[in-house]
Amino acid sequence: MRVRVRLGASEAHDVIVGRGLLGDLGALVAQHAPAHRCVVIADDVVAAHYADDAMTALHGSGFEPTLLTFPAGEASKTREQWARLTDLMLDDGCGRDTTVVALGGGVTGDLAGFVAAAFMRGVPLVQVPTSLLAMVDAAIGGKTAVDVPAGKNLVGAFHAPAVVIVDPDLLRTLPTVELRQGLAEAVKHGAISDAAHLDWIEFAAGPLLSADADALDELVRFSIQTKARIVSDDPWERAERATLNAGHTIAHALERCTRFSIPHGDAVAIGLVVEAVAGEAAAITEPGTAQRLAAVLATVGLPTRPPAIPAASVLEATRSDKKGRGGTIRYSLLRRPGQAARAGDGGWTQALPDDSVAAALDSLAR
Ligand SMILES: NC(=O)c1ccc[n+]([C@@H]2O[C@H](COP(=O)([O-])OP(=O)(O)OC[C@H]3O[C@@H](n4cnc5c(N)ncnc54)[C@H](O)[C@@H]3O)[C@@H](O)[C@H]2O)c1
Ligand SMILES: [Zn+2]
């Protein structure tokens, strides 16, 4: 499967999905991002699983690739690691004619993506996502960033990949807890765009959680088509791209309140339910929506109730979310399962009374 992603008038790239595609990496890089040099950036966990295959495939197409690794985990998504990687590329003699291959999860995609965005003022980037979250979300859309002491993802750049290569077979080694993080975003894709996809996730929950290759392949294809379509229609998040933030206003607040000890996907799952309950109370979201989402999320083992944090603290944390415009907190709400809610002003975000959000948090609290 090949999906075209348009990012603005002049930038477009393909997302190619297929089982076993890692073996074609060399040919695909040669075709979409030909360069004199090729640098593969991966965390140490992913490198242990897949660096040999990637390097062999690149050698097979005439590249002399260099492998650069860093310790796995969000703690590596820093300016320091970015500086280390760019310095290693300079030491290695890389110039403008270099392609960066980001082989890994969202941390690698964001970090290596930002390396590619800045190295020699920008060199081609090939995204090879290896986590479900990166396949269905992080690798698509051209956002790259590192975390800084003031917050996550605050320093970065838009840098569209030359191509995104998605090989669902790589998910066979992904731990279940990481698989669930991606499933939360996949449920979100169904929630904003297709009720039938929610039904299918519920139906296929068993195979999905046991990393059945066919089930994951189908899931990845649906989500990529959804994200690619929405991002293509609105690359700069002026309109419909905001629907991808469903559940995320509350999710980001919960992450902040727990000092990021709650995984992002878990926070999104809870956020989807909390925002649906609050949307129902505000007569924006059809009754029964929250219940339907909670049922689907529960079948794939995701939490649907917020941890015991005072509602006032969660509301306070929403105010430091970067989506706040002019002080009001905006939510990307649903009309019903499978359909995002359009606001009265034609936009895709709307304000909610604090009281209804607090009531939703309290009514769901564990
Ligand atoms: N740029 C964007 O638009 C965007 C969107 C969403 C999330 N993100 C970012 O993505 C990051 C989260 O991504 P993530 O959840 O993939 O984190 P991650 O990259 O840290 O991967 C999670 C863990 O899974 C391991 N892993 C990855 N693939 C594996 C595989 N195939 N087999 C075995 N282990 C594997 C990694 O080594 C890591 O330990 C966050 O930093 C977030 O900010 C970016
Ligand atoms: Zn998310």
- What are the pLDDT digits (tens) for 100-129? 999 999 999 999 999 999 999 999 999 999
* Confidence tier at 6 by pLDDT (50, 70, 90): confident
* Position 238 pLDDT exceeds 80: no
* Confidence tier at 164 by pLDDT (50, 70, 90): very high
Residue 96 Cα distances to 38, 89, 90, 192, 348, angstroms: 11, 11, 10, 41, 40
End-to-end CA distance of the chain: give it in Å, rounded. 42
* Confidence tier at 206 by pLDDT (50, 70, 90): very high
Q: Which ligand is nearest to the CA of 249?
A: 2
Residues 219-237 as b/e (b if ≥16 CB within 10 A, e otherwise) read bbbbbbbbbbbbbbebbeb
What is the pLDDT at residue 327? 66
Taking residue 103's Cβ as centre, other Cβ atoms within 10 Å add up to 30
* Confidence tier at 239 by pLDDT (50, 70, 90): confident
Kindly state if the Cβ of 49 falls inside 6 Å of ligand 1: yes
Determine the Cα–Cα distance for residues 359 and 366; give it in Å rounded to an integer.
14
Kindly state if the Cβ of 252 falls inside 6 Å of ligand 1: no
**Average pLDDT over the chain, rounded to an integer:** 94
Closest CA to 58 of 74, 79, 82, 42: 42
Which residues make Cβ contacts (< 8 Å) with residue 114, sequence separation at least 6? Answer: 82, 144, 145, 146, 156, 157, 159
pLDDT in tens, 305-327: 999 999 999 999 998 765 545 56
Three-class DSSP category at 40: strand
Residue to mutate, 74, 110, 128, 153, ligand 1, most ligand atoms under 8 Å from C-beta:
110
* Position 352 pLDDT exceeds 80: yes
Residue to mutate, 44, 133, 224, 234, ligand 1, most ligand atoms under 8 Å from C-beta:
133
Percentage of the chain modeled with pLDDT above 90: 87
What is the pLDDT at residue 326? 59
Three-class DSSP category at 3: strand
Three-class DSSP category at 350: strand
What is the pLDDT at residue 322? 55
Instruction: Give me the mean pLDDT over the 183-210 stretch.
Output: 96
Residue to mutate, 7, 178, 224, 322, ligand 1, most ligand atoms under 8 Å from C-beta:
178
What is the pLDDT at residue 277? 97
Determine the Cα–Cα distance for residues 226 and 218; give it in Å rounded to an integer.
13
Span from the CA of 52 to the centroid of ligand 2 (angstroms) = 30
Instruction: Give me the mean pLDDT over the 19-41 stretch.
Output: 97
* Position 143 pLDDT exceeds 90: yes
Instruction: Give me the mean pLDDT over the 260-272 stretch.
Output: 96
pLDDT in tens, 32-63: 999 999 999 999 999 999 999 999 999 999 99
Percentage of the chain modeled with pLDDT above 70: 98
Span from the CA of 99 to the centroid of ligand 1 (angstroms) = 21
Determine the Cα–Cα distance for residues 314 and 337; give it in Å rounded to an integer.
25
What is the pLDDT at residue 325? 53
Instruction: Give me the mean pLDDT over the 80-85 stretch.
Output: 98
Kindly state if the Cβ of 253 falls inside 6 Å of ligand 1: no
What is the pLDDT at residue 321? 60
Residue 222 Cα distances to 56, 182, 183, 281, angstroms: 30, 13, 12, 31
Residue of the CA atom closest to atom 4 of ligand 1: 138
* Position 169 pLDDT exceeds 90: yes
